[in-house]
Amino acid sequence: MKRILFIALSILLMSGVAFAAAPGRDTSPGHGDILGQGGLPSQPHKIFRLVRWVPAGNLGTNAIALTADSVVIWDLTSDDGITVTTSTTSGDNAVAGIIAVACLTPETLGRTAVQDSGKRNWTWLQTYGLASVAAFNHNSVGSAGAAFGCSDQVGLAGLTAGVTTGIAEPGSCGFVYDAVTAAATDVEVFLKCD
């Protein structure tokens, strides 16, 4: 009887090992957030954050609305981790990502994020994944894989100084998928701000 039980257990253990191999997608990666997942596995993963926009230079309601596909930075004046603004510093280290949905100007300047809660100057910022940039500045020329970030023109992207491959450089927020010509528009990029 002991021998039969031993053989049955051996068969069960060996068959368990044979069926233990499973695709990675069916196995838990461990504890933590699974970010950017949605839709079909063949769709590119993206991460968005709800942010508050304040125009640079306190232009307030005199500023034009922030357009989709604009490159923005984290606002260093509000320093709340929620507010973004535009920059005229090429390769700005505070680069936050790309605006996914156009945003209206604030109703009143000088407010905090709490005071602006529910107001019209909130929008979605994309920080990771396949995206599109509205335009590159007039002197950006580079090959596919070149790193990009803020340019010296408000809301426009620019290739980060001296980088022609996807090597990360300060002020870089990702890389371009296609070659960039001067004043290129609607350029496919991959964001890596998260």
Per-domain residue ranges of the chain:
45-192
What's residue 154's pLDDT? 86
Q: What's the confidence (pLDDT) of residue 80?
A: 94
Return the DSSP state at 15.
H
Structure tokens given for 189:
């990029």
Tell me how far apart the alpha carbons of residues 78 and 87 are, in angstroms, rounded to a whole number: 14
Q: Hunting for tokens 């989709």 — which residue is that? A: 68
Does residue 22 sit in helix, strand or coil?
coil
Query: Residues 191, 63, 79, 114: is their CA dihedral positive or negative?
Result: negative
The pair of structure tokens assigned to 73 is 């930075």
Which parts of the chain register pLDDT below 70?
A: 1-20, 22-23, 25-26, 36-38, 58-63, 161-169
Q: What pLDDT does residue 25 have?
A: 65
147 has which bridge partners?
175
Note the pLDDT of residue 64. 76
pLDDT value of position 75: 94
- Which pLDDT does position 163 carry in this prediction? 44
**Cα–Cα distance, 151 to 90 (Å, whole number):** 4
pLDDT for the residue numbered 125: 96
The H-or-E segment that residue 74 falls in is strand 71-74
CATH architecture of 45-192: Beta Barrel (2.40)
pLDDT at res. 57:
72
End-to-end CA gap in the chain:
60
Q: Which residue in 34, 133, 125, 33 sits closest to 82, CA to CA?
A: 125
The CA distance from 72 to 156, in Å, is 9
Q: Tell me, yes or no, if the pTM score tops 0.75.
A: yes
Three-state SS at 66: strand
pLDDT for the residue 165:
47
Please answer whether residues 130 and 65 qualify as being in contact, where contact means their C-beta atoms are separated by less than 8 angstroms.
no
- In sequence order, which residues have a C-beta less than 8 Å from that of residue 9 and are 6 or more positions away? none
pLDDT of residue 9: 62
- Residue 51, pLDDT score: 95
Residue pair 105/123 in contact (Cβ under 8 Å)? The answer is no
